[in-house]
Amino acid sequence: MPEDQAQDTQVHGHCDARFTAVRQAFEENFRERGELGAAVAVTVGGETVVDLWCGWADPARTRPWERDTLVNVWSTSKGPVALCAHILADRGLLDLDAPVADYWPEFAAAGKDKVLVRHLLSHRAGLSGLREPHSLEQLCDWELTTTRLAATQPWWEPGTRSGYHALTYGFLVGEVVRRVSGLLPGAFLEREVTGPLGIDFRIGLPETETGRAAELDRPPAATRSEQAAIFGQLPPAVIATVANPAVDAREANTPEWRAAEIPAANGHGTARAVAALYGVFAGRGTYGGRRILSPEAAERVREGQGRCRDLVLGAALAAETEIGLGLWLSGPNGSYGPNPRAFGHDGFGGSCGLADPEAGVSLGYVMNRMGPHIADDPRKTALVNALYRAL
């Protein structure tokens, strides 16, 4: 076997014997599912039982994936953002049933005075995308983006249905976090969670850490004519969500994207870090011997807000789904394992964070070769299925 191929499939790290099935599924992702570089971690009862990495940190295969390689995990970042809001709610500083405008007065514009904080967390605010053109450069401007969101009109009646807020979620929830705490969500998360627990995860990557960042890779995009045909069939709210602005691996590899505060989509971390953050939920609020949330607050995170066909992702998902207060429920679809009350979040292209309090288990999976799936990437599904076979 050529040296570069041997490196490509050489798995590093440790895996408890009980979870050999997870290691085997991880190896199969490289042999059979086109993996480039990736890592997976599992915790049980707050203890790390799987911590594996393999492959390459760049498409040119010049940098091996290391133990401390960071990668953009896209919407898997939304779990940590939700955690910030729940910490504030747990302390009595934020009422999830209060109007958003109680904390962010400008938000009451355009008929949004009755939108509740829980509507932001559950993707029911009707603000999945902006109505006016918004560039990537403008998306990196926190004040401009939140000002436009405060002024805009919802695409549907808030509170009635979920519609995935792909990029706006982090600005909406994050601005409430900022108004209450005085800190942007990245700084709040670092002060309250990742700093004290030593978790290697950041929202907005400092320049000093970019040398550890993996380069995302994605198959060739659709041609302009193909995109036009696709977008011509989509409702305006969906187009605003996925294409205003349109972002992909190319944009996410830029210094501007990495450095910005885009909480819904530009969290950078290791699989170990993702497993630890979702481990807070799996541990019913406790991780690493430190209580982050009360048991009641941790339970509230998975309070279902109603099963429905998502207004944005409905055409891309095979069935109805249900979102809790910040994370998706496994439900009858089994997206996060056979326990319907397990929950988690997938990231664009394949990454995943999973929490199952009943089993006391969390999982983090990160990778740099993005797949075409909105959710339930086959590589993630193989790892989740292997984890539950081992339990």
End-to-end CA distance of the chain: 35
Distance CA 58, CA 368 (A): 8
Check: CB of residue 9 under 8 Å from CB of residue 27: yes
- What amino acid positions are annotated as catalytic residues? 75
Secondary structure E strands in 219-307: 267-269, 286-287, 290-291
Determine which helix (DSSP H) or strand (DSSP E) holds 202, and give its type and residue range: strand 201-203
Torsion of CA 274, 168, 181, 303, to 10 degrees: -60
CA distance 231 to 226: 9
Q: Do the bridges between strand 361-367 and strand 352-356 make them parallel or antiparallel, or are there none, so unpaired?
A: antiparallel
Dihedrals phi, psi of 379, to nearest 5 degrees? -70, -45
**Tokens standing for 57?**
């940190």
Helices (H), 192-235: 195-197, 224-231
User: Within 10 A of 179 (CB to CB), how many other CB atoms are there?
Assistant: 16
- Phi, psi at 157, each rounded to 5°: -65, 115
Structure tokens at 205: 């990557």
Q: Identify which of 170, 165, 101 has the alpha carbon closest to the alpha carbon of residue 140.
A: 170
Residue from 170, 165, 179, 163 nearest 99 by CA? 179
Distance CA 165, CA 168 (A): 5
Half-sphere exposure of 254 (CA within 13 A, CB side): 10
